């Protein structure tokens, strides 16, 4: 590594900027089925408490498929408009 970049005064900023640049570069190749998050906290449920497990530099996440209910709701006209348009 570069001793200049590893200096405590510069490393945090460099590290964060590098992560974002890498994520921005990878994102177009991951879409539409995946997306990338930077420094997203990961928690684990233990009993009724959540425990912070890790903060990875980057995480690739599969997009959730829309449920049938979400798809119907998106295309449904609100009730009051249906009543107004019926006459």
Mean per-residue pLDDT, 49-71: 74
Is the pLDDT score of 6 beyond 90? no
Helix (H) or strand (E) holding 13: helix 8-30
Is the pLDDT score of 44 beyond 60? yes
pLDDT at 87: 44
pLDDT at 69: 62
């Amino acid at each position: 590594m570069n001793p200049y970049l590893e200096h405590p005064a510069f490393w945090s900023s460099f590290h964060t900027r590098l992560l974002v640049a890498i994520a921005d570069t990878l994102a177009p190749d991951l879409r539409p089925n995946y997306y990338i998050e930077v420094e997203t906290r990961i928690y684990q449920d233990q009993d009724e408490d959540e425990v912070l497990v890790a903060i990875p530099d980057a995480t690739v996440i599969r997009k959730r498929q829309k449920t049938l209910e979400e798809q119907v709701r998106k295309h449904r006209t609100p009730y009051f408009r249906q009543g107004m348009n019926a006459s």
